[in-house]
């Protein structure tokens, strides 16, 4: 089917060719339903779906593969399509409210009807918004610390990029490029750039920011168990020359404690990867002060563990962690516990198309402090993909990889060969290991984000982010996806893809 001898397990599709069509193009036999678009009402209170949907995570209701809650991140807004333009370089108070409301997350209830079509249930008792205006509790060493302005409650979450699910069925959402929103809204930057936790089923579970996991340009979180039963959380820091992180809890996971396991994210050790030595370096105040030695400026900057966490990148580099090519999503293989990291690109290093790195923890133990690594797959014309970003696994050990060539570069110059962004399926074992097969192509100037399967893998959720992002004139949009009848603008939307015949 794919020109390879052995059938690749799970790949029951004929790969598509790169496309520049203004649609979500799928292999024959597959279809998509638009489940929610920017501006859609999500509940009886009249809350609306935010802008630029990113990470999605399905939470089954009663173990169903046909009904559940979908957590959706909303990463950032658009002057053209959301707030309207600034006046004299500034947003008005009303525009700032809109800017903050349309970021954060949505909890929506969705179901597959008798005809197999996925829809949103706006009568849901769970559906609600978490926004840049929602109060958040700080937890961990930086809570109430001088480094965050001595506060323990902060306003809102935004710049929510990717995330992950905890072992206790809550969502972790990653605050990534927080500077522009916090600056626009005159909010205190040290209050953002954290991993936040929300329980989609329980509005009484206080939304919280876990400072023990460090403050940086958080892309995601991938949680697993160490061999001795503690929690390990792997995290990317999406900046050029930034490090890969791992948090290990002090205490062990106890399944019967359910959501109370959230406390595990309040106490533990944050590590950053030194790839030259193959070691995880503990970011402790003692180590940082020893490394800072006689440097008065650094000694003044790093006085407490809270200072280390708030300035995690600087601490990591000071302690010898390796700067890498924009570490985006991280996933732990459920098959061999190797850890996959999408290094999206780094023009400063001439790495134009990025690569996927695979960490092999010693003894296959996520609690190990030593590891080996390999470059698992490279972007470029030969593999057919560029700018790997979000990752997820299917049960046949295929790594589903979405791409994020920036809107200003996509389908131009050295990126023209790839046409629009896409979804690629890459086997992580067997004869076809490391080869990429294209499963989907995005609408014009869109990025496909947040791939998430239902447990039975009959549905794949996907967020189509920023279609038509380079539009300059509202009357002449570069994309009109999802091509709603009577609509006059493109709309970021979450889709449900069906047709999988496993």
Cβ-contact 432, 8 below 8 angstroms: yes
Asked if 325 interacts with Ca ion (CB under 5 A), we say no
Cβ-contact 328, 344 below 8 angstroms: yes
Q: Which of residues 41-100 bind ligand FEO (CB under 6 A)?
A: 75
User: In this structure, how many other beta carbons lie within 10 angstroms of the beta carbon of residue 6?
Assistant: 10
Least CB distance to ligand FEO at residue 92 (A):
27
DSSP-based three-state secondary structure for 114 = coil
Asked if 307 interacts with ligand FEO (CB under 6 A), we say no
Cβ-contact 171, 57 below 8 angstroms: yes
Of the candidate residues 161, 270, 272, 342, the single one contacting ligand FEO (CB under 6 A):
161
User: In this structure, how many other beta carbons lie within 10 angstroms of the beta carbon of residue 488?
Assistant: 9
Q: Which is nearer to ligand FEO, 219 or 445 (CB)?
A: 219
Q: Which of residues 234-253 bind ligand FEO (CB under 6 A)?
A: 238
Rounded Cα–Cα distance for residues 339 and 351 (Å): 21
Asked if 328 interacts with ligand FEO (CB under 6 A), we say yes
Any residues with CB less than 8 A from the CB of 380 and at least 6 apart, and which?
353, 386
Q: Which is nearer to ligand FEO, 161 or 448 (CB)?
A: 161
Cis peptide before 482 (omega within 30 of 0): yes
Of the candidate residues 23, 47, 389, 394, the single one contacting Ca ion (CB under 5 A):
389
Q: Which is nearer to ligand FEO, 307 or 328 (CB)?
A: 328
Q: Which does 435 bind (CB under 5 to 8 A by kind): ligand FEO, Ca ion, none?
A: none
Q: Which does 109 bind (CB under 5 to 8 A by kind): ligand FEO, Ca ion, none?
A: none
Least CB distance to ligand FEO at residue 90 (A):
25
Strands 230-236 and 53-60: unpaired
Q: Which does 47 bind (CB under 5 to 8 A by kind): ligand FEO, Ca ion, none?
A: none
Asked if 331 interacts with Ca ion (CB under 5 A), we say no
Q: Which is nearer to ligand FEO, 65 or 240 (CB)?
A: 240
Cite the beta strand spans of 212-354 per DSSP E: 222-225, 230-236, 240-242, 244-252, 268-274, 279-282, 324-325, 327-332, 339-343
Q: Which is nearer to ligand FEO, 22 or 389 (CB)?
A: 389
Least CB distance to ligand FEO at residue 297 (A):
30
Of the candidate residues 23, 219, 396, 469, the single one contacting ligand FEO (CB under 6 A):
219
Asked if 404 interacts with Ca ion (CB under 5 A), we say yes
Asked if 22 interacts with ligand FEO (CB under 6 A), we say no
Strands 208-210 and 135-139: parallel
Helix, strand, coil percentages in the chain from 3-state DSSP, rounded to 5:
15, 35, 50
Rounded Cα–Cα distance for residues 81 and 238 (Å): 25
Residues that bind Ca ion (CB under 5 A): 161, 389, 404
Residues that bind ligand FEO (CB under 6 A): 75, 161, 176, 219, 238, 328
């Amino acid at each position: 089917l794919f020109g390879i001898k052995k059938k690749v397990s799970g790949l029951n599709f004929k790969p598509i060719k790169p496309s520049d069509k203004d649609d979500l193009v799928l292999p024959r036999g597959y279809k998509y339903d638009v489940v929610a678009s920017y501006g859609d009402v999500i509940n009886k209170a009249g809350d609306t779906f935010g802008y630029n949907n990113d990470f999605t995570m399905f939470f089954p209701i009663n173990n169903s593969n046909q009904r559940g809650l979908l957590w959706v991140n909303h990463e950032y807004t658009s002057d053209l399509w959301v707030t309207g333009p600034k006046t004299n370089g500034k947003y008005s108070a009303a525009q700032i409210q809109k800017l903050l409301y349309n970021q954060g997350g949505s909890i929506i209830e969705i179901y597959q009807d008798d005809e197999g079509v996925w829809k949103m249930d706006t009568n849901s008792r769970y559906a609600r918004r978490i926004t840049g205006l929602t109060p958040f509790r700080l937890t961990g060493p930086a809570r109430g610390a001088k480094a965050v302005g001595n506060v323990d409650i902060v306003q809102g979450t935004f710049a929510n990029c990717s995330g992950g699910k905890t072992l206790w069925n809550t969502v972790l959402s990653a605050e990534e490029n927080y500077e522009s929103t916090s600056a626009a809204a005159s909010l205190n930057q040290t209050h953002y750039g954290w991993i936040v936790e929300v329980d989609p089923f329980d509005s009484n579970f206080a939304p919280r920011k876990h400072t023990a996991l460090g403050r940086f340009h958080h892309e995601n979180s991938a949680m697993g168990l160490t061999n001795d039963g503690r929690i390990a959380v792997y995290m990317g820091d999406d900046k050029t020359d930034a490090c890969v992180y791992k948090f290990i809890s002090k205490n062990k996971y106890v399944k019967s404690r359910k959501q109370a396991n959230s406390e595990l994210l309040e106490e533990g050790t944050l590590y950053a990867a030194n790839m030259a030595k193959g070691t995880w370096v503990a970011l402790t105040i003692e180590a940082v002060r020893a490394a800072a030695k006689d440097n008065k400026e650094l000694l003044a900057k790093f006085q407490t563990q809270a200072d280390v966490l708030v300035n995690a990148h600087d601490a990591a580099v000071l302690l010898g962690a390796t700067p890498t090519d924009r570490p985006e999503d991280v996933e732990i293989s459920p098959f061999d516990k190797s850890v996959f990291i999408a290094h999206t690109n780094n023009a400063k290093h001439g790495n134009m198309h990025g690569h996927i790195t695979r960490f092999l923890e010693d003894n296959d133990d996520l609690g190990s402090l030593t590891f080996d690594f390999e470059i698992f797959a490279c972007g470029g014309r030969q593999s057919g993909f560029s700018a790997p970003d979000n990752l997820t696994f299917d049960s046949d050990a295929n790594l589903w990889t979405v791409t994020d060539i920036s809107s200003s570069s996509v389908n131009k110059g050295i990126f023209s060969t790839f046409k629009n962004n896409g979804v690629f399926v890459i086997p992580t074992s067997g004869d076809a290991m490391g080869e990429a097969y294209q499963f989907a192509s995005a609408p014009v100037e869109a990025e496909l984000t947040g791939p998430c399967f239902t447990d039975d893998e009959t549905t794949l959720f996907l967020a189509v982010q920023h279609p038509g992002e380079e539009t300059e004139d509202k009357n002449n949009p570069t994309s009109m996806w999802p091509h709603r009848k009577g609509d006059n603008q493109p709309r970021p939307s979450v889709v449900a893809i069906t047709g999988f015949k496993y």
